[in-house]
């Protein structure tokens, strides 16, 4: 508490804000006011997205059609672990229902967001394989090949021979189809 009072005294001395009452301060610098207001607003928006995602989970349990919406809310709430979970589920649902562009978007978002967390390589490999399968299906063979090669590179690091064989098989099927 004494450190806080010391910092507040320094801030007052530098005239960034002035004391109104014991705990109330008013900002003198409009830019600082705007920045702090925006930070609070962003924090509130993140909290609202988290609440929206949790509400949908409760109201629509096991409803696959809501996975995309839940994933988006957790992503906007910056709840990385939950966002990754639902991006993966929503991507699998979209893939199963031939919503290829949406599935690709969800898998790409998953792969991008996974860089922020401590994600198991096997989950990343499975996502790359799913992405590659969709790209192969829609004829984007070069992009599918890149996804499969990334999955092979990661599978090699895991020392999981079966997973590595599956990744190589996926690439082999692509190359066979391509001719």
Per-10-residue mean pLDDT, the chain, length 179: 63 51 49 65 84 91 93 94 95 96 97 88 96 96 97 94 96 91
Alpha-carbon distance 116 to 129, whole Å?
20
* pLDDT recorded at residue 10: 62
Query: How many Cβ atoms are within 10 Å of 104's Cβ, its own excluded?
Result: 21
Phi-psi region of 117 (alpha: psi -120 to 50; beta: other; left: phi over 0): beta
Q: pTM of the prediction?
A: 0.75
Which letter does DSSP use for residue 62 in this model? T
pLDDT at residue 42, as a whole number: 82
Cα separation, 137 vs 130, in Å, equals: 11
Radius of gyration of the chain (CA): 24
Task: Give the pLDDT confidence score for residue 15 in this predicted structure.
Answer: 53
Do the beta carbons of residue 99 and residue 137 sit within 8 Å? no
How many CB atoms within 10 Å of residue 88? Answer: 21
pLDDT, position 2: 66
Q: Which of 89, 95, 90 is nearest to 136 (CA)?
A: 95
């Amino acid at each position: 508490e004494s450190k806080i009072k010391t910092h507040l005294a320094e801030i007052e001395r530098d005239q960034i804000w002035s004391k109104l009452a014991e705990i109330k301060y008013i900002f003198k610098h409009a830019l600082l006011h705007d920045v702090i207001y925006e930070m609070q607003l962003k924090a509130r928006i993140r909290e609202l997205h988290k609440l929206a995602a949790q509400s949908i989970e409760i109201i629509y349990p096991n409803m696959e059609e809501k996975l995309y919406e839940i994933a988006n809310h957790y992503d906007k709430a910056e709840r990385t672990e939950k966002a990754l979970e639902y991006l993966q589920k929503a991507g699998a649902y979209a893939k199963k229902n031939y919503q290829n562009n949406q599935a690709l978007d969800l898998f790409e978002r998953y792969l991008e967001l996974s860089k922020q967390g401590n994600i198991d390589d096997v989950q990343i490999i499975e996502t790359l394989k799913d992405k590659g399968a969709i790209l192969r299906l829609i004829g984007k063979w070069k992009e599918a090949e890149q996804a499969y090669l990334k999955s092979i590179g990661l599978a090699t690091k895991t020392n999981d021979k079966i997973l590595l064989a599956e990744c190589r098989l996926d690439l082999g099927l692509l190359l066979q189809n391509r001719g």
